[in-house]
Amino acid sequence: MASPYQSELNRSFRQTHRRLYKLIGLGSLLLVLLLVRIGWMQTIHTEYFTALSTDNHLRQIPVAPSRGLIFDRHGVLLADNSVRYSLSLIPSQVDDLDTTISQLRELADIHDRKVKRFQQRGQNRKFETTPLKIDLSEETIAQVAVKLHQLPGVYLEAYAARRYTYGKSTAHVLGHLASISKKDRERIDLYRYRGTRRIGRTGIEHQYESLLLGAPGLQQAEVNAQGRSLTLHDRKAPTPGNSLVLTLDAGLQKVASEAMTGMEGAVVAIEPFTGDILALVSTPSFDPDVFGHSIDPDDYQNLIRNTKTPLLNRAIQEQYAPGSTIKPFVALAGLESGHAIPGEKFYAAPQFKIPNYRRPFRDWKDEGHGWVTVSSSITQSCDVYFYSLAYRMGIEALEPFLAQFGLGETQQLDLPGEHPGLLPNEAWKQKTYSQPWYPGETVIMGIGQGYLMLTPLQLATATAALATRGIRMKPRLLRAYNQSGEMIENPPEEIGRVTLSNPAWWDLVTNAMVDVVHAPNGTARRSGLDAAYRIAGKTGTAQVISYGEERPDSEDLPENVRDHSLFIAFAPAEAPQIALAVIVEHGGHGSTKAAPIARQILDAYLMRPL
């Protein structure tokens, strides 16, 4: 019945349907294969993709800890942190860097050099915040904050800057911070420094870096594809650095620092029985605030080029001939070796001569001291007596005795860069100059000239050992530190003891030194006037250059070749609480510059209201 066309049509329906069946079947198979592939991604490999997804939108932002505070022995704040703001950019988020920078330059005063430096740095760190200008004024902060939403990739970043309460006067002791350098990076645990930009470069800041630093915290930030932080979640709070309590007396430090104003030199004051450094001053000093943030290259060049070397910590890094301040120690050496006998009379001529030596060794007193003893030689600072004593002892006896006081070696002070000074002997001379030791060199060492070189710190610790009658305490700046609320003490430590065959010799030398300050014939008698306590001291005048037989008056010389003025002292003489060494470069005689400064410091410490 069906027409041939109808049956052919029906056949074509069936065929078409079969073809559709096959085509959709093939497509369905492909769709199922895609599903299998997706299933594989979402089960076996899902952790991989989840990690990528998390990395995408969650950033771990390290949070820098706040650096530990520094206090003096009485709890006076010496260093803390203040919040400042920097204008920073994430280059990868900025559409047109040049336009953005010129927009910012309209808002803030940004130097060409800073822009150049930023461009150099930004090259390698396209995805990190790079500061363009630091230490913004409040006005600039306000101006930038208003426009921030129009400036993608620009951020106001808060950072902590170090602030030193006592500024210049503690600059050398506390030191300063600096940007973490390439060299630092090789040495430090980078994990601990995540988020931290600055590191202690010198002084206490460097010495106790690991205590002060603290540990970084972590913040998790949700960021969008443009890298803007949307929300912040605290994951782990940073651990603040430990606070330090130093042995310094901030008030005394200030007095010493002010007393030294306008002079080059150093003061070191020690509490003898503990080794506590009460004051450690080096002048000229510098303003540590210039290091508080990245130092301006100009300022830094000025500091480095300054011929008065303000960055040098003279108290521990410079060495001086001790001059007559060595005499009490030489006297003890003489007593111990039997070459000096208490009360024994000695005729001090104007000069001292040794056989086969053409040149005489002159006394500072042109007419000579006449009849003296070991005690009065200290009091009057008789050169000829000590020439003779040293000559008779010889370097073999003198050098080992002085070494007991720690001269010629570092004092293990907890401050970086300490210079060991120089206590010469025959072996040293042979090694350094390939020459034998000459007797004349022993002679001048008796009055603290020649090769003997000491740091102000060594002079102070040796004086402290006189005050303690031989107990040598390790000098220390750190008294304690606060670790999460608990005070951890840094106990005083004895590092050596000078023992004499007869302890009375300590009294002999101490009394002679008291006479230096308080007796009418003492060299520093003017500095002992009206003192409410007794000072044991010794003046020193160190020649900077040697002259022939004629020695011109110091005041007539140009300043840079004038003698150094030195003074060592401890007080009260009967129960010493403080020992100190004062050095004023080119200050002339010890009694004119150094001794009055020492008196000021002693007064400030011993006469302070309790």
Paired with 302 in beta bridges are none
Contact residues for another protein, defined by CB under 8 A = 8-9, 12-13, 15-17, 19-21, 23-24, 27-28, 30-32, 34-35, 37-39, 41-43, 45-46, 48-50, 52-53, 56-57, 222-226, 230
Query: How, if at all, do strands 243-246 and 70-71 pair?
Result: parallel
Which CB, 127 or 547, lies closer to another protein? 127
Which CB, 9 or 158, lies closer to another protein? 9
Distances (CA, A) of 140 to 98, 106, 134, 144, 455: 20, 10, 11, 6, 47
Of residues 169, 282, 324, 527, which has the active-site annotation?
Answer: 324
Closest CA to 360 of 387, 378, 380: 387
Taking residue 380's Cβ as centre, other Cβ atoms within 10 Å add up to: 23
What CA–CA distance (Å, rounded) separates 558 from 303?
Answer: 24
Side by side, the strands of the sheet bearing 229-236 are 58-63, 217-223, 229-236
Paired with 347 in beta bridges are 371
Which CB, 36 or 487, lies closer to another protein? 36
Taking residue 204's Cβ as centre, other Cβ atoms within 10 Å add up to: 26
The token pair at 59 is 């950033």
Least Å distance between CB 45 and another protein?
6
The verdict on whether 324 is a catalytic residue reads: yes
Which CB, 124 or 307, lies closer to another protein? 124
Closest CA to 91 of 145, 144, 127, 48: 127
Which CB, 54 or 179, lies closer to another protein? 54
Which CB, 6 or 501, lies closer to another protein? 6
Least Å distance between CB 160 and another protein?
30
Least Å distance between CB 39 and another protein?
5
Least Å distance between CB 97 and another protein?
17
Least Å distance between CB 10 and another protein?
9
Using CB atoms within 10 Å of the CB of residue 38, give its burial: 0 to 12 exposed, 13 to 18 middle, 19+ buried: exposed
Least Å distance between CB 15 and another protein?
6
Using CB atoms within 10 Å of the CB of residue 550, give its burial: 0 to 12 exposed, 13 to 18 middle, 19+ buried: exposed
Which CB, 188 or 223, lies closer to another protein? 223
Least Å distance between CB 18 and another protein?
10
Which CB, 21 or 547, lies closer to another protein? 21
DSSP character string of 421-445:
-B---HHHHHHHHS-PPPHHHHHHH
What CA–CA distance (Å, rounded) separates 456 from 280?
Answer: 9
Which CB, 229 or 306, lies closer to another protein? 229
Least Å distance between CB 53 and another protein?
4
What CA–CA distance (Å, rounded) separates 500 from 504?
Answer: 9
Least Å distance between CB 95 and another protein?
14
Which CB, 9 or 142, lies closer to another protein? 9
Contact 196, 180 (CB under 8 A): yes
Taking residue 195's Cβ as centre, other Cβ atoms within 10 Å add up to: 16
Which CB, 57 or 497, lies closer to another protein? 57
Least Å distance between CB 21 and another protein?
6
CA dihedral 174, 176, 177, 183 (to 10 degrees): -100
What CA–CA distance (Å, rounded) separates 405 from 496?
Answer: 8
The token pair at 350 is 């104007």
Tell me the backbone φ, ψ of residue 455, rounded to 5 degrees.
Answer: -85, 155
Cis peptide before 297 (omega within 30 of 0): no
The token pair at 317 is 């890094």
What CA–CA distance (Å, rounded) separates 242 from 202?
Answer: 18
Tell me the backbone φ, ψ of residue 382, rounded to 5 degrees.
Answer: -75, 115
Least Å distance between CB 22 and another protein?
10
Query: How, if at all, do strands 361-362 and 370-372 pair?
Result: unpaired
Distances (CA, A) of 384 to 187, 348, 355, 371, 454: 54, 6, 15, 11, 22
User: Which amino acids are annotated catalytic?
Assistant: 324
